[in-house]
Amino acid sequence: MKIAILGGTGDEGLGLAIRFALAGNEVIIGSRAADRAETAAQAVRDKVASARVSGTTNDVAVEQAELVMLSVPFAGLRATVSALAPKLAGKIVVSLVVPLQFGKGGPHAELVPEGSAAELTQQLAPEARVVGAFQNLSAHELLEPDHDLGCDVLVCADDRDARRSVMTLAETIKGVRAIDAGPLAYSRYVEDMTALLISLNRRYKTQTGIRISGIG
Amino acid sequence: MKIAILGGTGDEGLGLAIRFALAGNEVIIGSRAADRAETAAQAVRDKVASARVSGTTNDVAVEQAELVMLSVPFAGLRATVSALAPKLAGKIVVSLVVPLQFGKGGPHAELVPEGSAAELTQQLAPEARVVGAFQNLSAHELLEPDHDLGCDVLVCADDRDARRSVMTLAETIKGVRAIDAGPLAYSRYVEDMTALLISLNRRYKTQTGIRISGIG
């Protein structure tokens, strides 16, 4: 599959680029600046010799891809999706975005009037097949291709086929089990849990993730 | 320890009463009606022959207990805590309460202006040592004394000693690991996850719970 990762120059996007390239997908890293995207593509090649990966602008990346991952900061989500909306129509668009605020008391989830970053994305790109997933994965762990994640990816989407496709993609990552977490409106809980996980990472000096017990 | 469980006539409260009695604690089930509390106490004895358990009004239960668990519906939380606030002062008060709404799209978390049911409890009973915990445990599993829960209990409190005490108590339940989830403001994420877990229970026809990966 041809996968564009917008914001693929950040650690989370880069980590997923590495994992998806490792699984044999063609990865196109998107950024506002093509040269930064190309530098990130080289970083993927340094970790995965066999990687089929390129770097270009967000615009071009979306045109080339079958599936688009949004790994941009929440503050930039609205502008990024609004500008690309016509090109996102009909494509699977995966939001990894977590609306986080870092205050004195630690990280907290920002209230999103639309419910979640994933639902905001769907509103801005109504013809995209929006999926919420991968919000809880540790970038630190993703960046090391041999590390076993040992956690679940909760996948939410109103489009059932898109949900299934992303579940299949998620399970190509070593140690990941995909959970069908239902409609897009459930993304909120998955996004928000990230604030708690980051605070646990600090308290326990580790990289945490979510597992759902009682399934399988 | 002497533990009062207010709303101990519901499945979640009754399940915890069974588990805490099994661990050797003295359990006092509280209800608005003493006779219903006594019926629930008998249900505990039926499951745990050695149980030290009694049933009485919420008011009397709180007076007798060292630790108070709130297992009332969110809709009744404000009235229950307001009425008991003076008696809760200085005591560990554990909120199990989850603000849930059941709509057409499935269960969802209700927005709580105070942040969470646990924080609302702290505002209404400012001198209580409020802890948020046990919100994610399956009542169905708790009611069977020999079932291994196989999940985590995330414990939030601003009072560190209270947090530690409840973590110790949680780990007396078979198969439960307690996680120090930090200040009370993190209860929101734990409460809200319950909506997602209930929807997973329906989709996967099982009893789900949360595990945090990467710890221990």
Flag whether A213 is in a domain: no
Q: What percent of chain A has pLDDT over 70?
A: 100
- Nearest-by-CA chain B residue for A183: B105
Tell me how long chain B is: 216
Q: Is A194 helix (H, G, I), strand (E, B) or coil?
A: helix
Q: What is the pLDDT of residues A43-100, one digit of tens each?
A: 999 999 999 999 999 999 999 999 999 999 999 999 999 999 999 999 999 999 999 9
Chain B environment of A200 (Cβ under 8 Å): 179, 181-182, 212, 215
Is A145 domain-assigned? yes
pLDDT at position A64, please? 97
Smallest Cβ distance to B207: which of A181, A196, A214? Answer: A214
Residue A33 located in a structural domain: yes
A213:B214 CB<8 A: no
- Report the SS3 class of residue B68: strand
Residue-wise pLDDT tens digits, B138-160: 999 999 999 999 999 999 999 99
Is A186–B206 a contact, with Cβ atoms under 8 angstroms apart? no
Residue A210 lies in a domain: no
Range of the domain at B138: 2-204
Tell me how many residue pairs between chain A and chain B have CB atoms under 8 A apart: 115
Reported as a pLDDT band with limits 50, 70 and 90, residue B167 is very high
Query: Any idea what DSSP says for residue B19?
Result: H
**Nearest Cβ partner of A106 from B180, B182, B214?**
B182
On the question of pLDDT at A216 being above 90, the answer is no
Q: Is residue A173 assigned to a domain? A: yes
Distance from CA of A215 to the nearest CA of B (A): 7
Closest CA in chain A for residue B111: A111
Mean pLDDT of A151-172: 98
Mode of pairing for the β-strands spanning A100-103 and A52-57: unpaired
Asked if residue A83 belongs to a domain, the reply is yes
Res. B26 pLDDT band, cuts 50 70 90: very high
For residue B165, give Cα distances in angstroms to B104, B125, B153: 39, 19, 13
Interface test with B, best of A196, A205, A208 (most B CBs within 10 A): A196
Q: Which residue of B has its CA nearest to A207?
A: B214
What's the total number of domains in chain B?
Answer: 1
Q: How far is B32 from chain A (nearest CA, A)?
A: 33
Q: What is the pLDDT of residue A104?
A: 83
Least Cα distance to A211 among A166, A169, A178 occurs for A178
Nearest to A200 among B150, B195, B212 (CB): B212
- Tell me the torsion sign for CA atoms B99, B101, B107, B108: negative
Distance CA A25, CA A157 (A): 22
- The overall pTM is greater than 0.90: yes
Q: Is A67 exposed, middle or buried (0-12, 13-18, 19+ CB in 10 A)?
A: buried
Residues B209, A214: C-beta atoms closer than 8 Å: yes
Nearest CB among A105, A200, A201 relative to B181 is that of A200
CATH code, B124: 3.40.50.720
Answer whether residue B203 shows pLDDT above 90: yes
**Are the C-beta atoms of residues A154 and A121 closer than 8 Å to each other?**
no
ipTM of the complex: 0.96
- 3-class SS of residue A27: strand
User: Kindly report the CA angle at A119 between A129 and A64, in degrees rounded to 5?
Assistant: 35
